[in-house]
Amino acid sequence: MSDVTSRLHDERDALNAFVTLLETEQVILTSEDTSPLLDLAESKSKSANRLTVIINARRDALRNTGGLDMSSWLQSVAPNALPIWLEILQLAERAQQLNNTNGELIQVRMRHNQQALGVLHSAASNSAGLYGRDGQPNLPSARRTLGTV
């Protein structure tokens, strides 16, 4: 296996692992318990950093090809690696879709949490006056005396 093919295999495997983490994140975001997101965030960050190193190395190598794009360059130096490159492109598209969807799910959760906090804050503010200084209920009256219409 050529060095180019080996590097593309590494990139594909790293990208595949990242996609799996994004899929796991989506499952967690659509479940009741989102506490596993904290641990997942660390794994996702490490995976993203690894991918960045691999992608930057590929881009650096491609700069020395005389301006060819990746597909054209592979056609000339390692045509057997072209299917791996196409798989990488598909995985990258899948990762982008998952990342966008997960971002939207996070926004929905944040709005829901903000609304819930608003309700709790309002309830806490309103309940502050339920009892007077003497400990007796201080409920708001309807300003209507009993026996009158």
**What's the CATH code of the domain at 49?**
1.20.58.300
Q: What is the pLDDT of residues 116-147, one digit of tens each?
A: 888 877 776 665 556 667 777 665 555 555 55
The verdict on residue 7 lying in a domain is yes
The verdict on residue 137 lying in a domain is no
- The amino acid sitting at 112 is H
- pLDDT of amino acid 95: 97
Show the domain range for 100: 3-124
Average pLDDT for 105-119: 89
Handedness of CA 80, 77, 73, 55 (dihedral sign): positive
The verdict on residue 58 lying in a domain is yes
pLDDT band of residue 113 (cuts 50, 70, 90) is: confident
The verdict on residue 18 lying in a domain is yes
The verdict on residue 117 lying in a domain is yes
Q: What is the pLDDT of residues 49-103, one digit of tens each?
A: 999 999 999 999 888 888 889 999 999 999 999 999 999 999 999 999 999 999 9
Region for 135 from its dihedrals, namely left if φ exceeds 0, alpha if ψ lies in -120 to 50, beta otherwise:
left
pTM for this entry: 0.77
Domain count, the chain: 1
pLDDT band of residue 11 (cuts 50, 70, 90) is: very high
